[in-house]
Amino acid sequence: MTVLFAHLAAYIAAKWAKRTVTQLDDIILSKIKTPVYYLILLAGVTLAISFLPLPASFKTALSKIIASIILIVSCYLVAFFLNLLIKTWLSRTKEVIGKSRQKDLMAVSRKILNFIIFILLIIFILSLWGVKVTALVASLGIAGIVIGLALQTTLANIFGGIALIADGSFKIGDFIQLETGEAGEIIDVGLRSTRIKSFDEGNEIIVPNSNLMNSKIINYGRPEVFLKKRVKIGVAYGSDVGKVKQILLNCAKEIGEILKNPPPEVYFTEMADFSLNFEVVFWINNYKHRLRVQDKFVSLSYEKLQLQGIQIPFPTRTIYINKK
């Protein structure tokens, strides 16, 4: 009867899986069909043993053997589903950590998870057979505390890396600026640290993940990859404000790296001690080119202003001497 029920359950599940569009349920069913079949079969055998006229000691031993097998099969199913969840989650992190790092992280996660499930399985089976596991569990707890204290910094970095990946704060190729002022492109997100290629020096900056988790980061790739740039330019008093604004606006439009949408803008911001100050606001689509674009814009602006006879001021002082 149990065998018929197990076959019927497998048949119904297979029919249901074929009707769905996704292939995931077919893959899951192919992996768990045999273990679930044996679980149902063993449950039926356990029920049958309770009705058989067998010696109590034999019944107890046989029940423990079957229960041990059920525990093993159940742990296999738990490990399978948890590994599937980890694989599904990590498949969404390819852009963040890269394909090779994704495979490494998946392998490490699978080994850690399987090891934990194996230890729990051993404890459950020993407890089932009457072995006192209190001392063993206490020893494992003490060992865990000692290892945790010894590897406190390393574990903080590892959990920080997992949290960064899960949060999706940045991915490989993003341009970020640290709280310390250092800026660069993310080239690797590891379990212990994140590697950043500095823009200014070209050096590699290695930052522990726990530090990144507890600091403020500017990500120039989120929510858009565009970078807003502000450039201040001063001209001499007596200059035509409207003319200066038009010249600066035309200069911004002439440079190809400056985006047309959103359009560049020019503001007359201040009448300072020695100059009339303007601020030019424009957008570029690559943070790495910010200095090059600024150089082009300032150089072109200086040239155009000079051609139009608009002077660039420098600090001067007029001293009046009263002769008496």
118 in a domain, yes or no?
A: yes
Q: Could you report the per-residue pLDDT of 270-309, keeping only the tens digit for each?
A: 999 889 999 999 999 877 788 899 999 999 999 999 999 9
pLDDT attached to residue 231: 94
Who contacts 287 (Cβ-Cβ below 8 Å, separation ≥6)? 175, 183, 199, 220, 221, 227
Q: Mean pLDDT throughout 181-186?
A: 84
Q: Could you report the per-residue pLDDT of 52-91, keeping only the tens digit for each?
A: 777 777 777 888 888 888 888 888 888 888 888 877 777 7
319 in a domain, yes or no?
A: no
**% of the chain with per-residue pLDDT over 90:** 20
212 in a domain, yes or no?
A: yes
Helix, strand, coil in percent for the chain, rounding step 5: 60, 15, 25
pLDDT attached to residue 299: 95
132 and 15 in one domain? yes
pLDDT attached to residue 29: 63
Q: How many CA atoms lie within 13 A of 313 on its CB side?
A: 18
192 and 127 in one domain? no
190 and 243 in one domain? no
Q: Could you report the per-residue pLDDT of 95-118, keeping only the tens digit for each?
A: 555 565 566 567 667 777 888 888
pLDDT attached to residue 258: 93
Out of 133, 157, 181, pick the residue that ends a domain.
157
232, 278 contact by CB (below 8 A): yes
312 in a domain, yes or no?
A: no
69 and 30 in one domain? yes
47 and 139 in one domain? yes
195 and 123 in one domain? no
178/160 Cα distance (integer angstroms):
16
194 and 56 in one domain? no
We report the CATH number of the domain holding residue 174 as 2.30.30.60
145 and 189 in one domain? no
pTM metric for this prediction? 0.49
184 in a domain, yes or no?
A: yes
Lowest mean pLDDT among 42-46, 252-256, 272-276: 42-46
256 in a domain, yes or no?
A: yes
153 and 22 in one domain? yes
Report how many domains make up the chain: 3
Q: Is the peptide bond before 262 cis (omega within 30 degrees of 0)?
A: yes
Mean pLDDT of the residues in the chain = 78
42 and 136 in one domain? yes
For residue 308, the surrounding DSSP H or E stretch is: none
202 and 92 in one domain? no
Counting DSSP H helices and E strands in the chain, the numbers are 10, 8
User: What's the domain range around 278?
Assistant: 227-307
**% of the chain with per-residue pLDDT over 70:** 70
Tokens representing 156?
Answer: 């903080």
123 and 19 in one domain? yes
Q: Could you report the per-residue pLDDT of 185-200, keeping only the tens digit for each?
A: 888 877 778 888 887 6
